């Protein structure tokens, strides 16, 4: 079983419309701090990002911020953090956060958060890495996304194994436990051959 010492949390730079999102961020940050799990995040001093960072620090945890210079210039960086990495671009930011983390959790967020979720899932699918990717599904925020992913499996664009590797739970403590016990499902190496055969059959009108 892998040892989880750091988790990258993707979340909104907005607090969202429901106070429950901020409450969940604080709860997750507190749990991570208490468990000695380093928080890696986007380095912002606003929204859910600020809430989870403050909670982790208050609980005695270590927090690492990662942010491109362009966002720092907009004065949204949490400059009081003891460890802060300045990077050249958003793409390098994601690479750096992945390098520093043993697992990923996505809280409610916007386009940037969705981008981060799917990039992590894609890297796992392509076996660039093998790290747990989880959704903290506060108040069912990700219900529609999960339903859509199930539909992509039904339409045979996503492998069932890759879908099942995405952890989903509304309870922060339970989600951390699932991450601790995560064992990724692997796809048989012949799946590429199967796709080639399916493509050939479709080309031949079968």
pLDDT at 190 over 80: no
CATH no. of 6-203: 3.40.50.450
Q: How many angstroms separate the CA atoms of 79 and 81, rounded? A: 6
pLDDT at 200 over 90: no
Q: How many angstroms separate the CA atoms of 108 and 14, rounded? A: 9
pLDDT at 43 over 70: yes
Chain position carrying tokens 């076996």:
127
Rounded average pLDDT over 15-40: 98
User: What pLDDT, on a 0 to 100 scale, did the predictor assign at position 196?
Assistant: 67
pLDDT at 184 over 70: yes
Q: From the CB of residue 132, how many other CB atoms can be counted at a distance below 10 Å?
A: 25
Q: How many angstroms separate the CA atoms of 144 and 159, rounded? A: 19
CB 166 within 8 A of CB 149: yes
pLDDT band for position 187 (50/70/90)? confident
Mean model confidence pLDDT for the chain: 93
Rounded average pLDDT over 165-193: 89
CA angle 160, 166, 169 (to 5 degrees): 125
Condensed to tens digits (0 to 9), the pLDDT of residues 52-110 reads 999 999 999 999 999 999 999 887 999 899 999 999 999 999 999 999 999 999 999 99
Backbone torsions φ then ψ of 201, nearest 5 degrees:
-65, -40
pLDDT band for position 161 (50/70/90)? very high
Rounded average pLDDT over 36-57: 98
User: What pLDDT, on a 0 to 100 scale, did the predictor assign at position 176?
Assistant: 98
Q: Which helix (H) or strand (E) holds 190?
A: none
Condensed to tens digits (0 to 9), the pLDDT of residues 115-138 reads 999 999 999 999 999 999 999 999
Tell me the two tokens of residue 133: 């990717």
pLDDT band for position 192 (50/70/90)? low
Cβ burial, residue 118 (10 Å; 0-12/13-18/19+): middle
Q: From the CB of residue 22, how many other CB atoms can be counted at a distance below 10 Å?
A: 20
pLDDT band for position 189 (50/70/90)? low
Specify which residues 66 forms β-bridges with: 85
């Amino acid at each position: 079983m892998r040892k989880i010492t750091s988790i990258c949390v993707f979340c909104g730079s907005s607090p969202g419309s429901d106070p429950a999102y901020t409450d969940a961020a604080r709860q997750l940050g507190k749990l991570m701090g208490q468990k000695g799990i380093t928080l890696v995040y986007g380095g912002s001093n606003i929204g859910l990002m600020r809430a989870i960072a403050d909670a982790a620090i208050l609980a005695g945890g270590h927090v690492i911020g990662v942010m491109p210079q362009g966002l720092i210039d907009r004065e949204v960086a949490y400059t009081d953090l003891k460890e802060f990495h300045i990077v050249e671009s958003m793409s390098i930011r994601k690479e750096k956060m992945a390098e520093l983390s043993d697992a990923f959790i996505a809280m409610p967020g916007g386009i940037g958060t969705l981008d981060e979720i799917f990039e992590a899932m894609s890297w796992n699918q392509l076996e660039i890495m093998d790290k747990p990717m989880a959704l903290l599904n506060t108040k069912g925020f990700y219900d529609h996304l999960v339903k859509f992913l199930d539909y992509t499996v039904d339409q045979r664009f996503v492998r069932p194994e890759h879908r099942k590797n995405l952890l989903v739970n509304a309870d922060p403590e339970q989600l951390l436990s699932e991450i601790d016990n995560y064992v990724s499902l692997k796809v048989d190496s012949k799946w590429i051959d199967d796709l080639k055969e399916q493509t050939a059959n479709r080309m031949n009108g079968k």
